[in-house]
């Protein structure tokens, strides 16, 4: 019971037809559902932004999606409006087995800071509380799957490795966005942080 499955952002907006669609995002739903049976703890994360969030290009006059700007906490890719709290796009993919989840962790609610990682906001220091939850339950090993491999899975895996978890990322159960070389950078960064890339 020391292993948890962390399912990252399997939401409508990241699947084909969504506001920030990741190619093939819906192809991994069944595989993720099947994998939940193998873990004592299943955590789902849910990107959950207020309208007008600072990560949205629409909040920055003259900016377009995928532009990169400097924020007080570092560089930030600007995105189309997505995963707005309570919207259809913020819901989990209809085929995802959410009944099996022990915890649904919402992130990205702070209007001023994006939050890719399941553990910290993008300032890399404001905690989401997930580390406390997992630690209290005696969990030491994490397997990560979901969307997007080069953003939220990547940041979550790197933070988890830094926090001392044994982290595996099952790349066959992830899909990525790949903007400006983000996929190669993410794979390298995860490996350097000590995460195990399974199936890559």
Task: Pick the closest to residue 17 from 104, 91, 86 (CA basis).
Answer: 91
- Taking CB under 5 A as the binding criterion, the range among 42-50, 70-78, 84-92, 127-135 that sits at the site for Zn ion is 42-50
The two three-digit tokens of residue 66, written as one number: 């995928």
**If binding is defined by CB under 5 A, does position 47 make contact with Zn ion?**
yes
Residue 120 binds: one of Zn ion, ligand VGL, none (C-beta under 5 to 8 A by kind): none
Residue 9 annotated as catalytic: yes
The two three-digit tokens of residue 116, written as one number: 């890719």
Query: How far apart are CB 1 and ligand VGL at their closest, in Å?
Result: 27
Residue 174 annotated as catalytic: no
Q: Enumerate residues 91-150 that contact ligand VGL by CB under 6 A.
A: 116, 147-148
Residue 152 annotated as catalytic: yes
**CA 198 to CA 171: how far, in whole Å?**
6
Q: Which candidate in 9, 13, 26, 114 is catalytic?
A: 9
Could you tell me which residues are beta bridge partners of residue 196? 168
By CB under 6 A, name the one of 6, 9, 156, 170 that touches ligand VGL. Answer: 9
- Residue 98: left if φ>0, alpha if ψ -120 to 50, beta else—which one? alpha
Q: Which candidate in 26, 152, 159, 174 is catalytic?
A: 152
Query: How far apart are CB 154 and ligand VGL at their closest, in Å?
Result: 8
Phi, psi of 139 (to 5 degrees): -85, 130
Query: How far apart are CB 129 and ligand VGL at their closest, in Å?
Result: 18
Residues known to be catalytic: 9, 107, 152
């Amino acid at each position: 019971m020391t292993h948890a499955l962390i399912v990252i952002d399997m939401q409508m907006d990241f699947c084909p037809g969504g506001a920030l669609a990741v190619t093939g995002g819906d192809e991994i739903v069944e595989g993720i559902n099947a994998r939940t049976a193998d873990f004592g703890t299943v955590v789902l994360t849910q990107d959950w932004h207020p309208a007008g969030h600072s990560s949205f290009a629409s909040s920055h006059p003259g900016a377009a999606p995928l532009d990169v700007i400097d924020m007080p906490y570092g560089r930030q890719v600007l995105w189309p409006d997505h995963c707005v709290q309570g919207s259809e796009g913020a819901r989990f993919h209809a085929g995802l087995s959410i009944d099996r989840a022990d915890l649904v962790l919402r992130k990205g609610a702070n209007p001023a800071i994006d939050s890719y990682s399941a553990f910290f906001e993008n300032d890399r220091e404001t905690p989401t509380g997930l580390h406390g939850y997992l630690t209290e339950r005696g969990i030491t090993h994490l397997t990560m799957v979901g969307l997007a491999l080069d953003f939220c899975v990547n940041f979550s895996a790197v933070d988890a490795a830094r926090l001392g978890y044994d982290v595996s990322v099952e790349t066959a159960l992830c899909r990525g966005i790949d903007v400006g070389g983000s996929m190669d950078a993410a794979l390298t960064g995860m490996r350097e942080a000590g995460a195990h890339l399974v199936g890559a």
